[in-house]
């Protein structure tokens, strides 16, 4: 059976997910929560960041970003797409299923359209006190609509992010039920301001 790495390498070679346009939710979260909280750009981790549309957007705003993804083809394209800001991005090929935060801490952790429940505690750990988690992915509601994953493993349950990250101060939470089923979450780790 083709594994995730091969399958995403094949998709990226075929030109899939080619746009470097950031998700509108990153823009909303950045404007309403990140900018007011951070007087200057800091460090960010983009989990399963693919072609780097968010890592590049942040790097252009002077953030230092670690972009992790299982696909080396995606990462190579991300480096190419980053152009002059490539040296502000650390490109790391990693299987996020095995993610261990170790001692690294980030001001910002982003997860867009990737779900691996067993790493939720490591994502919490990876946040510095005062750090912000921005998470957006599909919910079970998406099964009513076209596109997106269909397996429950890849779909959030109702309120799941709220429960999983209940130790964060929730700054924003929403679930859509029309046209598309996605959950959007912004939470801040308690503790000293960054």
Q: What are phi and psi of 61, to 5 degrees?
A: -100, 20
User: Binder to ligand SAM among 30, 45, 56, 74 (CB under 6 A)?
Assistant: 74
Tokens of 75: 């990462």
Tokens of 80: 């190419």
For residue 142, the minimal CB distance to ligand SAM (Å) is 13
Contacts of 58 (CB under 8 A, 6+ apart): 41, 44, 46, 65, 108
Place of tokens 């503790």: 191
- Interface with ligand SAM includes 71 (CB under 6 A)? yes
Q: Which residue is nearest to ligand SAM (CB)?
A: 50
Q: Which stretch binds ligand SAM (CB under 6 A): 33-41, 68-76, 100-108, 158-166?
A: 68-76
Residue whose C-alpha is closest to residue 106's, from 153, 43, 41, 58: 43
- Interface with ligand SAM includes 77 (CB under 6 A)? no
- Interface with ligand SAM includes 112 (CB under 6 A)? yes
- Interface with ligand SAM includes 4 (CB under 6 A)? yes
User: Binder to ligand SAM among 34, 44, 45, 48 (CB under 6 A)?
Assistant: 48
- Interface with ligand SAM includes 72 (CB under 6 A)? no
Alpha carbon distance 108, 133 (integer Å): 6
User: Binder to ligand SAM among 61, 95, 101, 130 (CB under 6 A)?
Assistant: 95
């Amino acid at each position: 059976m083709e594994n995730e790495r091969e399958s995403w390498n094949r998709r990226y070679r075929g030109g899939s997910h080619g746009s470097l346009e950031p998700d509108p939710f990153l823009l909303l979260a950045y404007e309403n929560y990140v900018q007011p909280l951070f007087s200057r750009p800091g460090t960010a981790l983009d989990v399963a960041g693919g072609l780097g549309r968010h890592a590049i957007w942040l790097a252009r705003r002077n953030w230092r970003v670690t972009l992790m993804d299982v696909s080396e083809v995606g990462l190579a394209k991300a480096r190419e797409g980053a152009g002059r800001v490539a040296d502000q991005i650390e490109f790391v090929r990693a299987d996020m299923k095995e993610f261990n935060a170790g001692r690294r801490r980030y001001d910002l952790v982003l997860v867009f359209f990737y779900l691996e429940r067993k790493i939720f505690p490591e994502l919490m750990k990876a946040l510095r006190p005062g750090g912000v988690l921005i998470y957006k992915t599909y919910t079970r509601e998406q099964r009513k609509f076209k596109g997106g994953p269909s397996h429950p493993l890849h779909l959030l349950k109702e309120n799941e992010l709220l429960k999983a990250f209940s130790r964060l101060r929730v700054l924003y939470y929403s679930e859509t039920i029309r046209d598309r089923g996605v959950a959007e979450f912004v939470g801040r780790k308690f503790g000293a301001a960054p």
